[in-house]
Amino acid sequence: MEAKGGNSSLGSRKGHQQGSKRYFEDLLSTLEEKGANPELEETIRESLRKNSTNIEYYKVHQKFDTMGNLKNTEIQKFKFDK
């Protein structure tokens, strides 16, 4: 999940747009290097190897109106390329 607040927009990582499969894989590599959760990382990598359509990746965004009040939460599912 990519959580965005206010007027923030999607960023990039090493030239890969947030929400893309390449961005997700690069982020997973970084977590792997840090040893964050080896079992979870391997489960995710195995899922990516078998079929990326079983990975659900979302953007959640909540903007503010002109008065500074929170607007409705927007949820968008990213589509991975195979």
Task: Tell me if residue 68 falls in helix, strand or coil.
Answer: coil
Q: How far apart are the first and last CA of the chain?
A: 19
Backbone angles phi, psi at 31, to 5 degrees: -65, -40
State pTM to two decimals.
0.64
Is the model's pLDDT at 79 over the cut of 60?
Answer: yes
Is the model's pLDDT at 54 over the cut of 80?
Answer: no
Backbone angles phi, psi at 5, to 5 degrees: -125, 160
Helix ranges (H only) for 1-82 are 21-34, 38-50
**Residue of 52 and 72 predicted with greater confidence:** 72
Determine the Cα–Cα distance for residues 56 and 59; give it in Å rounded to an integer: 10
Q: What pLDDT is stored for residue 56 in this prediction?
A: 81
Q: What pLDDT is stored for residue 77 in this prediction?
A: 87
Is the model's pLDDT at 1 over the cut of 80?
Answer: no
Is the model's pLDDT at 72 over the cut of 90?
Answer: yes
Q: What pLDDT is stored for residue 80 in this prediction?
A: 67
